[in-house]
């Protein structure tokens, strides 16, 4: 995976570089699915969430479906996971969240 360390003024301030646009477009494709966007929002708003404990009921989908979407988010580098006993906890990758927030933000 191509990692963007420092990136991007908001889109309204200056055009982004091609490599940065490619990476961010892949993240936006992943987040383009409503279930994944909701999962990412749930995880980011709580700071951390348990796959089995916290995410199945709010989404109203089966646990295997939640697991599939979490795998896609993880493979894209948007969330990190940690197994604790029988449960897996997910957190947003802070750098990715900051980049996405900065890029889509505007100065008003």
Contact call for residues 100 and 5 (beta carbons, < 8 A):
no
State the CATH number of the domain containing residue 71: 1.10.10.10
Per the domain annotation, does 107 fall within a domain?
A: no
Tens digit of each residue's pLDDT (9 = 90 or more) over 48-89: 999 888 899 988 999 999 999 999 999 999 999 999 999 999
Asked if residue 45 is part of any domain, the answer here is yes
pLDDT in tens, 3-37: 444 566 556 577 778 888 888 889 999 999 999 99
Which domain, by its residues, includes 68?
A: 18-94
In DSSP terms, 80 is beta-bridged to 91
Classify residue 48 by its DSSP letter: -
Q: Which helix (H) or strand (E) holds 92?
A: strand 87-92
Query: How far is the C-alpha of 95 from the C-alpha of 101, rounded, in Å?
Result: 10
């Amino acid at each position: 995976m191509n990692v963007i360390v420092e990136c991007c003024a908001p889109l309204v301030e200056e055009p982004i570089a091609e490599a940065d646009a490619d990476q961010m477009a892949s993240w936006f494709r992943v987040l383009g699915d409503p279930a994944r966007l909701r999962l990412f929002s749930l995880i980011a708003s709580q700071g951390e969430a348990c796959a089995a404990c916290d995410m199945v009921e709010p989404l109203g989908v089966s646990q295997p479906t939640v697991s599939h979407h979490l795998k896609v988010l993880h493979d894209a580098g948007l969330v990190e996971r940690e197994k604790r006993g029988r449960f897996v906890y997910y957190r947003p990758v802070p750098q990715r969240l900051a980049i996405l927030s900065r890029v889509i933000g505007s100065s008003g």
